[in-house]
Amino acid sequence: MANEENFMRVPAPTPKRTVYTEAMEIFHRAADLIGLDKRVRLELEEPDYEHIFYVTAKLKDRLVPLTPEQARDFSDLQPTQVRNPEGLERLADGKIILNGRALLGSDVSIRRGHLRLPDGHVYQLVPGESQRFKAYRVQHNQARGPYKGGIRYHREVSLDLFKALAAEMTWKTAISEVPFGGGKGGIQIDPRAYGREELENITLRFMYKLKSMIGPNIDIPAPDVGTNGDIMALMYRQYSDGERDRHGMRGIVTGKDVRIGGSEGRAAATGQGVAFCIEDYYAEKGENLRGKSFILQGFGNVGSHGAAILQRMGARLLAVNDADGTIYNGDGIDVTALLAHVNDPKNLRRSVLGFAGAQKIDKKDFWEVQADICLPAALGGEITADVAERLKVKLVAEGANGPTTPEADRVLQKRGIDMIPDIIANAGGVTVSYYEWIQNKRMERWSEPEVNQRLEHAMKRNYRIIRDISRNQSRRSDTHDSRPFCIGKEVDPRCAAMILALKRIEAHYLLEGFSQ
Ligand code: NAD
């Protein structure tokens, strides 16, 4: 007996805190509040499948620049006259890939594996070797339809992160009422450190390995950080090449170029969706975006399109932070001119830094710029409790996935800063991905106004339901019906969004039952 008592007093081990457990805190809170069916909860608590696999590729020869100090040993090295300069591909990190026969026929002066290019710099010639990359695909849940979610190419990815992002997709597809589940994956790689052809080979090999796990009715990837329509085109080709039903396989990936079966409006869809939510947030207060100001983190797909659309609606961009630094202009940054700067082929890092229409500031000052809206559109975990204490905005609209930590969420609530949570704010991308998938299935092509009209309707309808759940305002209007989702008490918007997702997913399980 004494032994049993001792045994019972042993405290349960605290589960290790990870990105996934942190992301799931809100799931558990919402599940408790609505009394989510126990078995459905178990189905959703962990992903259906977690794939880790490896991709190998043969790299090309590279020229690696020496530091001025190292170059001193080669001060008398004559410059090589390059015959085929188009074969030299300069990377963001200063290294140069030798494509094809870049140096063929050139008058090469080489000493101890080093050569000088006409730009005056000395480079070490590093022969290309084979390299192995770690790749992932997490398939979180498919109760409502095929797994759906982006492919990320980034140095800092992990199974833990992809689990969190895949679960987010399950919630997001339910919120936006598209018949998909959730998945996510990618490769641990810094894409800016590899040449075009290398990335092509890595992507083709990645799809070669992924092929047995996915399909247009099984799991449908899309672009995410570090990938784009070009990568999707390669994935589509590799998946369908040589197949009899090749054209019936277009829906294997979304986010494709419109010329090969992509949807009008897809490239801008995530930014457009965030803008529709922000517009609706102000419309409810009887206001619009004219004269409103915003700060933006991330000037990639989501950030640049979001900023351009908000600017067209009358808002002013005051500061932008990206992976390389921060720029600020109190009179407003011209988004069109900034896009031209970032897309300039000479801007190898595609960074906002060096933009003539703004001054450089420190990242810590970025978070303290006074504005109406903060639009995070980069990576997760950027708005920490400390940042949340310092923000001088009235609204955070999450373009990125998981940009706000749970502690920061509590700080923002305490400070009365409003929140449009990621699983509704950035759902525009997956919503138009669904439109792309339907168009592929039906061999149709919808116009951009048609796509945007459908998107606006979907975003605003679901955002209004979430607002009603949050305020416990059960009602039916011309545009939406929140009566099946309100829970009899007020909750914060993130929890409200999760309640909407869980109630929709639970309905599938309860109506369909479980296969045994
Ligand atoms: P992207 O690769 O096109 O752009 C990423 C941007 O973030 C770049 O400007 C980069 O410089 C910046 N960045 C990277 N690391 C940073 C850091 N440490 N600090 C500051 N800035 C940093 O990516 P994207 O597709 O625009 O995705 C951005 C976010 O939006 C991600 O969280 C992604 O998961 C989410 N999202 C994307 C889509 C989509 O359709 N692309 C849809 C939903 C959600």
105-141 per-position pLDDT tens digit = 777 778 899 999 988 999 999 999 999 999 999 999 9
Which pLDDT tens digit goes with each residue over 252-266? 999 999 999 999 999
Looking at domain 47-57+132-259, which of 3.20.20.70, 3.30.420.40, 3.40.50.880, 3.40.50.10860 is its CATH number?
A: 3.40.50.10860
Beta-ladder partners of 98: 88
Q: Whose CA is nearest to atom 13 of ligand 1?
A: 323
Q: Whose CA is nearest to atom 14 of ligand 1?
A: 323
Structure confidence at residue 2 as a pLDDT band (50, 70, 90): very low
Q: How far is CA 339 from CA 26, 91, 301, 351, in A?
A: 36, 20, 11, 10
Structure confidence at residue 67 as a pLDDT band (50, 70, 90): very high
409 CA to middle of ligand 1, Å?
20
One-character DSSP codes across 277-298: HHHHHHHHTT--STT-EEEEE-
239 CA to middle of ligand 1, Å?
26
Which contiguous run of DSSP H or E holds residue 502?
Answer: helix 493-512
What pLDDT was estimated at residue 470? Answer: 98
Find the radius of gyration of the CA atoms of the chain. Answer: 25
Q: Whose CA is nearest to atom 32 of ligand 1?
A: 400
Residues 186, 227: contact at Cβ < 8 Å?
Answer: yes
State how far the Cα of 459 lies from the Cα of 162, in Å rounded to an integer. Answer: 25
Mean pLDDT of 423-434: 98
Closest ligand 1 atom to Cα of 172: 43
Would you say the CB of residue 302 lies under 6 angstroms from ligand 1? yes
In terms of C-beta distances under 8 Å and separation of at least 24 residues, what long-range contacts does 64-68 make, across chains too? 64/95, 64/123, 64/124, 64/126, 65/94, 65/95, 65/96, 65/121, 65/122, 65/123, 66/114, 66/121, 66/122, 66/123, 66/124
Same fold, 47-57+132-259 and 263-516: yes
In terms of C-beta distances under 8 Å and separation of at least 24 residues, what long-range contacts does 254-259 make, across chains too? 254/220, 254/221, 254/222, 254/433, 254/434, 254/436, 254/437, 255/222, 255/223, 255/228, 255/229, 255/429, 255/433, 255/436, 256/229, 256/232, 256/436, 257/229, 257/230, 257/232, 257/233
Mean pLDDT of 316-337: 98
Looking at domain 263-516, which of 3.40.50.720, 1.10.10.410, 1.10.287.130, 3.30.450.20 is its CATH number?
A: 3.40.50.720
- Quote the mean pLDDT of the chain: 95
400 CA to middle of ligand 1, Å?
6
Beta-ladder partners of 107: 81
What pLDDT was estimated at residue 103? Answer: 82
Of 267, 182, 256, the residue nearest 455 (C-alpha): 267
- Which are the catalytic amino acids? 184
Q: Whose CA is nearest to atom 41 of ligand 1?
A: 224
Structure confidence at residue 147 as a pLDDT band (50, 70, 90): very high
Would you say the CB of residue 226 lies under 6 angstroms from ligand 1? yes
**Residue 115 token pair:** 């050569």
Does the structure show a pLDDT above 60 at 57?
A: yes
What pLDDT was estimated at residue 212? Answer: 97
Would you say the CB of residue 399 lies under 6 angstroms from ligand 1? yes
pTM of the model: 0.94
Structure confidence at residue 301 as a pLDDT band (50, 70, 90): very high
Does the structure show a pLDDT above 70 at 406?
A: yes
Structure confidence at residue 1 as a pLDDT band (50, 70, 90): very low
Complete edge-to-edge strand list for the sheet that includes strand 49-58: 49-58, 130-141, 182-188, 147-154, 219-223
Which pLDDT tens digit goes with each residue over 346-393? 999 999 999 999 999 999 999 999 999 999 999 999 999 999 999 999
Would you say the CB of residue 321 lies under 6 angstroms from ligand 1? yes
Identify which of 263, 379, 423, 432 to mutate to test ligand 1's pocket (most ligand atoms within 8 A of the CB): 379
Which pLDDT tens digit goes with each residue over 5-40? 555 566 666 778 999 999 999 999 999 999 999 999
Number of other residues whose CB lies within 10 A of the CB of residue 163:
23
Residues 57, 128: contact at Cβ < 8 Å?
Answer: no
Would you say the CB of residue 168 lies under 6 angstroms from ligand 1? no
300 CA to middle of ligand 1, Å?
6
Residues 335, 357: contact at Cβ < 8 Å?
Answer: no
Residues in Cβ contact with 222 at an 8 Å cutoff, skipping those fewer than 6 apart: 148, 149, 150, 151, 232, 253, 254, 255, 429, 430, 433
Would you say the CB of residue 223 lies under 6 angstroms from ligand 1? yes
Domain boundaries, the chain: 47-57+132-259, 60-128, 263-516
State how far the Cα of 302 lies from the Cα of 299, in Å rounded to an integer. Answer: 7
Q: Is 100 helix (H, G, I), strand (E, B) or coil?
A: coil
Q: Whose CA is nearest to atom 43 of ligand 1?
A: 426
Mean pLDDT of 233-254: 96
Residues 375, 295: contact at Cβ < 8 Å?
Answer: yes
| 346 class by beta-carbon count within 10 Å (0-12 exposed, 13-18 middle, 19+ buried) | exposed
Mean pLDDT of 312-324: 98
Q: How far is CA 73 from CA 67, 78, 120, in A?
A: 11, 13, 14
